[in-house]
Amino acid sequence: MEACGDAPAAPRNGAASTTRRGVSEAVEDYAKAIYALHSRQNTDAVKTNAIAHRLGVTPRSASSMIKKLADLGLVAHVPYRGVRLTGEGERIALEVLG
């Protein structure tokens, strides 16, 4: 498993390419970041600001992507509380980390 340090994991730039898991690299980056933050913080939900900080993006960008992840069924979002990975989201994160 990858270390869960505070260094931001730079999101990939450019056109959204699809990985062999059938999702974009950005989706993988977010799933991995949420998984790492959840593991480190040992909380029920990960705050949007923590995700934004880890990925080096604005909170607004993180919120936008979280909505997309929720639409894909990869996270459960509770406004003002944070997000948690669904079973499918966790599967993707673990595949990326593995």
What is the distance between the alpha carbons of residues 29 and 37, in angstroms, rounded to a whole number? 12
Q: How does pLDDT run across 45-92, given as a tens digit for each residue?
A: 999 999 999 999 999 999 999 999 999 999 998 878 899 999 999 999
What is the distance between the alpha carbons of residues 11 and 5, in angstroms, rounded to a whole number? 16
Q: How does pLDDT run across 10-33, given as a tens digit for each residue?
A: 454 444 566 656 789 999 999 999
DSSP-H helix ranges across 48-86: 48-55, 59-71
Predicted pLDDT at 2: 41
Provide the residue ranges of all domains of the chain, joining segments of one domain with +.
25-97
What is the distance between the alpha carbons of residues 7 and 92, in angstroms, rounded to a whole number? 21
The reported pTM is 0.78
The residue assigned the tokens 């949007």 is 48
Query: Of 1 and 73, which is predicted with more confidence?
Result: 73
Contacts of 81 (CB under 8 A, 6+ apart): 44, 45
**CATH for 25-97 (1.10.10.10, 3.40.50.970, 1.10.443.10, 3.40.50.720):** 1.10.10.10
62 exposure class (CB count in 10 Å sphere: 0-12, 13-18, 19+): buried
